[in-house]
A and B are shown apart, each in its own frame.
Chain A
Amino acid sequence: MTIARRSLLGASALLAMPHVARAQGRARLVILGGGFGGASAARFARDHYPALDVTLIERSQRFTTCPYGNLVLAGTRRVEDITFGYEQLAARGVRVLHAEAAAVEAEARAVRLADGTRVPYDRLVMSPGIDLRWGAIEGYDEAASAKMPHGWIPYRQPITVLAAQLRAMRQGGVFLMAIPDNPFRCPPGPYERISMVASYLKRHNPTAKIIALDAKNGFSKQPLFQEAWEELYPGMIDWRGASSDGRVMRVDTNEMALETEFGEKVKGDVINVIPPQFAAGIARAAGLAADSGWCPIKPDSFESTRVPNIHVIGDASVAAPMPKSGFAAATQARQAVAAAAAQLAGREVPAAVYFNTCYSHVGEDYGISIVGVFRASGGRLIEVEGAGGISPRNAALPGARRAEHRRLEAIYADGWYEAITREMFAQA
């Protein structure tokens, strides 16, 4: 009895001293942004660090993924199939705050919400995602995006806007795309989009064409995509890289046209503009971004090189050679949480091994992938040599094996999507 009372007294005396109270095990981990990075961080922190107080700040009650949005265009997924809630994360003990974050007050170590409330943290993991650079393509602003949808940030513009335009397009019409230079969210995404739009058109509008104007000369999984396009959608897809005047400089919403570097005006019946991007505004305003607009990080912890006690993961970070993908964000999330917990406890940050797989659907029963294993080494992120890479090209796969390989990767893509979303949203 005496012992119990004394220990309680001891504990309350400790609580009066904030730095000791932290050491006592209720260090506050705040996670800002509930996408692939943030939701994965919350799940991982809650499962493996019972001593941490875990808060997730996310504006939306429901989260629609970017991955599989292209399958909504194809008509093989409904938007409800790719939309998730945070109830199960909350049930596991993550404090979920559905609120708009107004600012990060790094000196005070707090996130200020739009209503003025401050959420204090000992360590902050930010997975804020991207913003679009309005005006980087002349004339392409938010108003123009209603007419020429981007379909690249689901909470700003659901993929259904572009899907509705695709479905309403006249027979034999032109689906026109503008694709940005690197770096941007989801490197294979525009090419999976071309494929899934082609898949829709092949079934419902077979005389239609796709013209893709690209600001660069090469892209992720390019030989695999292009071989598949020839095989599945012959004559339908016209992809023009930067050296074929693919860079879009200007949009004309009245004429429904894109104007290229050398002044060609290309008209489209439906126009999808994926504009240049940068880290979300809240990260830039907090001083986390370099002149590039993206947030540099320490490769073993994803802690910002610019602001202490803040980790920046996912698309907003500078993590090349890792791609800006959902899987990459999830793998960064685990390491960032482990590093934050270690640093709070005065331990060494664990060795960093990161992993990514990006699957793309190219057609029915036709999937391809790119894989990478990455390590922090000598202050840099490096891709492990000899590992990873893209699926074998057609020539490397003997006849029967080829179809089976593509079919399996399509199935595995679906399995990946199910596994990662169930983990993020604590449904498994």
Chain B
Amino acid sequence: MNRILVAAILLGSFAGGANAQTSQATLLAGACQGCHGANGAGAQGIPGIHHTMSRSEFTLAMQDFRANRREATVMGRIARGYTDAEFAALAAHFARPEASR
């Protein structure tokens, strides 16, 4: 019994740690936050990106920046450094929550 409890404690704390298994999106989002703000709210003319777009709008915007289809100052140069999978991860991180399918 004791052994199980000890295991449970360890598991519980590992879960705390595992919770801390920061998703790749959280790390990627750091790049965006550098200008768009810790909470993605934007500042001083830099647009907010937190819950301002749907996931598909977010991904499309990034793809348009990457392909030079959308006028940009810095975003084109930035978007060309990332993959579609990373756009999708960032979209899930920043876009408006969507009803689960």
The answer to whether B73 touches A412, judged by C-beta atoms less than 8 angstroms apart, is: yes
The answer to whether A338 touches B34, judged by C-beta atoms less than 8 angstroms apart, is: no
Pairs of residues from A and B, 8 with the lowest C-beta to C-beta distance, nearest first? A373-B81, A387-B81, A355-B31, A415-B44, A415-B46, A25-B13, A387-B80, A423-B38
B100 at interface, CB cutoff 8 A:
no
A357 at interface, CB cutoff 8 A:
yes
B residues near A (Cβ < 8 Å) are 1-2, 5-6, 8-10, 13-14, 16-22, 24, 26-28, 30-31, 33-39, 41-46, 73-74, 77-82, 86
Residues in B whose Cβ lies below 8 Å from that of A386? 80
A6 at interface, CB cutoff 8 A:
yes
Distance in angstroms between the alpha carbons of A312 and B24 in the assembled complex: 21
8 additional contacts, CB 8 Å, given A369-B73, A428-B37? A327-B34, A355-B30, A369-B74, A371-B74, A373-B81, A388-B77, A409-B74, A423-B38
Q: Chain A binding site: helix, strand, loop or mixed by DSSP? A: helix
Q: In the complex, how many residues of chain A place their beta carbon closer than 8 angstroms to a beta carbon of chain B?
A: 58
The answer to whether B28 touches A353, judged by C-beta atoms less than 8 angstroms apart, is: yes
Distance in angstroms between the alpha carbons of A49 and B35 in the assembled complex: 23
Distance in angstroms between the alpha carbons of A48 and B43 in the assembled complex: 23
Distance in angstroms between the alpha carbons of A415 and B19 in the assembled complex: 32
Q: Count A-B pairs with CB separation below 8 Å.
A: 158
With contact pairs A11-B9, A369-B74 given, residues A51 and B17 touching in the complex (Cβ less than 8 Å):
yes
Return the contact of A416 from the options B22, B30, B34, B78 (Cβ within 8 A): B34
A129 vs chain B, min Cβ distance (A):
19
Return the contact of B35 from the options A14, A48, A388, A416 (Cβ within 8 A): A416
The answer to whether B2 touches A388, judged by C-beta atoms less than 8 angstroms apart, is: no
A150-158, A219-227, A329-337 - the one binding chain B: A329-337
A-B contact pairs, 12 of them (CB 8 A): A23-B14, A25-B16, A43-B38, A50-B19, A345-B18, A350-B27, A371-B78, A372-B81, A387-B82, A408-B45, A412-B73, A420-B35
B101 vs chain A, min Cβ distance (A):
27
Q: Which A309-350 residues have C-beta < 8 A from chain B?
A: 327, 330-331, 334-335, 338, 341-342, 345, 347, 350
The answer to whether A357 touches B9, judged by C-beta atoms less than 8 angstroms apart, is: no
With contact pairs A51-B16, A353-B28, A422-B38 given, residues A6 and B44 touching in the complex (Cβ less than 8 Å):
no
Nearest residue (CB) in A for B6 is A10
- Name the residue in B5, B10, B45, B74 with the highest tally of chain A Cβ atoms < 10 Å from its Cβ: B74
With contact pairs A10-B2, A14-B9 given, residues A387 and B45 touching in the complex (Cβ less than 8 Å):
no
